[in-house]
A and B are shown apart, each in its own frame.
Chain A
Amino acid sequence: MRDILRQNNADLLREIGLLRERLEKAASAIPPELQPFQGWIISFCDKLQATALQNLRNLNLGLDSILPNILSDTQVLTRNVRLFNQRLVGPVLRACESDRLCLKVLRWIHSTHSLTQQIPMALSDGDFASWPQLDWPTIYFMPPSAQHRLLYLPLFFHEFGHLLYACHEPEMDELVKALQKEITQFLEPRGQRDDRHAQSEAKRRSVIVETWYEWAHELFCDGIGFQMAGPAFAYSFSMYFRVLMRDQYHIRAEELEHRDHPVTWLRIRLLADRVRRMGFEADAKALEDTWSKIAATMGVVEDYYGFYSDEFLPSIRQAIDDMLVEAAPRAFENQEVSATELLLLDSALTLSSPVQLLNKAWRKFLDDEGGYTAWEKNAIEGLLNDKTLI
């Protein structure tokens, strides 16, 4: 067993060494926005090497009783190297100039909050997602076709919400717990029975309440998206999902149990509620009408099978509002989102923040779809050349 483990650890050591060499060689070609991340992964390489060396030293102790632990440590290291290989080195080894648009926006987003300023980040291909770890860089995933456009960049703000949740996790979990308690009370039956049916109903209520942990988390991230990016987030979110599939509008009752995300139509309803409460009545109505029209065309009837009821709404509003206060993200400013102010903004040269540009992009897209492509090309160039943004 000792020889097997020695062989694996020695091989891991060689593999990490080779990766480290490649990462160092790639340093000169990476965009400046990626440099903090590159520094982090080189130091992570050193940690992985130190672990392999420690395992080899432990093997040299000649103690049979610790072999299961060295095996387990070798497995942990192997998984970390695999993770490193699959997800972390790619953004550096495959970095290209065109990553700069997303990286610049992401770096600006991180710079807006004291708890995330120092967290390095990187971009990877994939459906919108993120890896928000506090002691790791945050990896953001985005479909390649969306990476060179402005319209879907606002969805990064939702992903940033996951990082803010992680930064305030104990407090956030307490707020979600309070919401879950309120939902428990709403679901409580008026009369008490003590039979098999009552037991099964109690289990179902318990599943609904537990499911709201994940749902509250996602709704908080939607709230962060709107609070930081304004109407651009709402339009981006709606456009990305509205014609994807039937599941965005309706999900069978049994599939709602412990589902990671609320049904997207419900998210749109709650997002529109937030948009309206923030004073954007026309945008809220546009969102609701669009989704209602598509649902009607598909013949879908809105039903959440007890997982949501209008009587939950005041509690959900309060919980998400409280979570937003706790997270304290940078809120959009009026001149970044107001239609009148955006009309005056003729080019990216007078840009005050990426939020302003993303809202301008959506106004332009909605008002002048034909002229949008040419406008977007110039706007992206302006953003990349803007030295005033981080």
Chain B
Amino acid sequence: MSVQWLAVQSFQQNQDLLTAINKLSIHLRLQLERNEDAERAGEANKAREMLSSFFRELETLVNDTERGEEVPVLGANPRLRELARSFVRAKRNRRRFRSSLFRNGAGCFQQLLHSKTKEDRQALLESLEELRVLVEEHMHVDAERVLGEI
């Protein structure tokens, strides 16, 4: 019996995360650069909700992970544990990850998600861009398991 369930669930969660990141990013860009995009506001709000709920879960795991390798991360599947570890490593890698999300953490990101100021929206866009990179790198393992290699 193989553990495809784990790879496919993680693969799909990451696909959904990327879709949410892109929907919200395109909406924010259109607002900032053209001062318009009422058409996508509904979808952008759904993306906010999805990201907010994801970060509520991830934040607990990140806190546990930051306590060190001697402390186990409990009640989470191995792919989510690995994502939390990648997030912690990214926070420590200031050369690659400089956005507010990685400097100030998930709590601050939650505030940015719902802020209406131009500066915060710019900061949110930068955070989303780096989050996209992190998720894309993380999902490589699942994609390989689910889709195989050519």
Contacts and interface: CB of A to CB of B under 8 A. Distances in A.
Contacts, number: 121
The secondary-structure label for the interface of chain B is helix
Contacts of B30: 61, 63, 66
Interface string B1-26: 11111101101100100110110011
Contact of A129 (B5, B12, B77): B5
B81 A203 contact: no
A137 to B, nearest CB: 12
B50 interface: no
A82 B147 contact: yes
* Binding site secondary structure of chain A: helix
Nearest to B150: A82
Contacts of B22: 69-70, 72-73, 76
Contacts of A371: none
Interface residues of A, number: 54
B78 A72 contact: no
B76 interface: yes
Contacts of A61: 30
B147 A86 contact: yes
B120 to A, nearest CB: 18
A73 B74 contact: no
Contacts of A75: 18, 136
Interface in A126-158: 126-133, 136, 141, 155, 158
B5 A130 contact: yes
B70 A66 contact: no
Interface of A: 58, 61, 63, 65-66, 68-70, 72-73, 75-76, 79-80, 82-83, 86-87, 126-133, 136, 141, 155, 158-159, 162, 166, 173-174, 176-177, 180-181, 184, 199, 202-203, 205-207, 209-210, 213-214, 217, 258, 260-261
Query: What 8 pairs between A and B have smallest CB-CB spacing?
Result: A177-B75, A202-B70, A209-B72, A206-B72, A260-B3, A69-B22, A129-B4, A129-B2
21 contacts: A65-B33, A68-B129, A69-B29, A70-B22, A72-B18, A79-B147, A129-B5, A130-B4, A141-B4, A177-B74, A177-B75, A180-B74, A210-B72, A210-B74, A210-B81, A213-B74, A213-B76, A214-B6, A258-B78, A260-B6, A261-B1
